Each structure stands twice: as C-alpha cells, then as structure tokens.
C-alpha cells in the first residue's frame, strides 16, 4: 500500500523499513553497542551499512568489526573455500553438460 500511495519502488519500501531511523554514530564501541542491542533484542538479523564518507566502510571494517568479533557477534573466519560454500549452496548442474542432457531425457521418458 505504501508503494502505491507514495509511488515507491519495492526496493525503496524495503530500504525504508530495513534501516534504523537514524544512522549508527559514535565510537567503534558505541556503534557496536547499538548493533548488538538491535541484534540481541531480535529487532534485526542483519544491517545495510551505508557509507556517507568515502572511507566510511573502511572505518567500519577496521574499527567496528573487530569489536563485534571480540563480542562473538561477527565471524572471524569462513568455513568454506568459496562464497557458494559459505552460503551453503550446492554447485548447480551445468546445463550444457552431457549429464544434464541425459537427465532431461530420463525425465522425459518417466
């Protein structure tokens, strides 16, 4: 309804409701405190981090992430070797391979 009333895209609606009303501002510890509060109260399971300054994301990763890691709120290592591994996704069948053709033929015969 909001998208219709205000002429917003679905992305704009999602961003409006996925972000806190104000940005996290403060020392690395204060920003980590705010993120921790949102996470532990179930108010969020992830964040869209906006960078106002060109170096903002670098500051976040170098200063805030280590604090979150010390608190056990952010991973310190990845278990997989690839992004696909880390997301728990299987390697898709190559649709151009012979195996895919055989599988399609078997499905058609069944």
Asked whether 55 and 63 are in contact (CB, 8 A), the reply is no
Q: What are the domain boundaries of the chain?
A: 2-77, 79-110
pTM above 0.85, yes or no: no
pLDDT at 84: 93
Q: Give me the count of residues in the chain.
A: 110
Secondary structure (DSSP) of 16-78: HHHS-SS---SSHHHHHHHHHHHHHTTS-S------SSTTHHHHIIIIIHHHHHHTTSS-SS-
pLDDT digits (tens, 9 = 90+) for 20-78: 566 678 999 999 999 999 999 998 888 877 766 678 788 899 999 999 999 999 999 98
């Amino acid at each position: 309804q909001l998208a219709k009333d205000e002429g917003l895209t679905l992305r704009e609606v999602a961003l409006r409701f996925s972000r806190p009303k104000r940005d996290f501002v403060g020392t690395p510890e204060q920003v980590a405190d705010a993120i921790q509060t949102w996470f532990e109260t179930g108010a969020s399971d992830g964040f869209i981090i906006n960078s106002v300054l060109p170096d903002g994301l670098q500051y976040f990763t170098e200063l805030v992430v280590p604090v979150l890691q010390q608190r056990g709120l952010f991973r310190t290592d990845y278990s997989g070797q690839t992004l696909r591994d880390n997301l728990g996704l299987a390697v898709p069948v190559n649709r151009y391979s012979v195996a895919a053709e055989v599988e399609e033929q078997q499905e058609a015969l069944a």
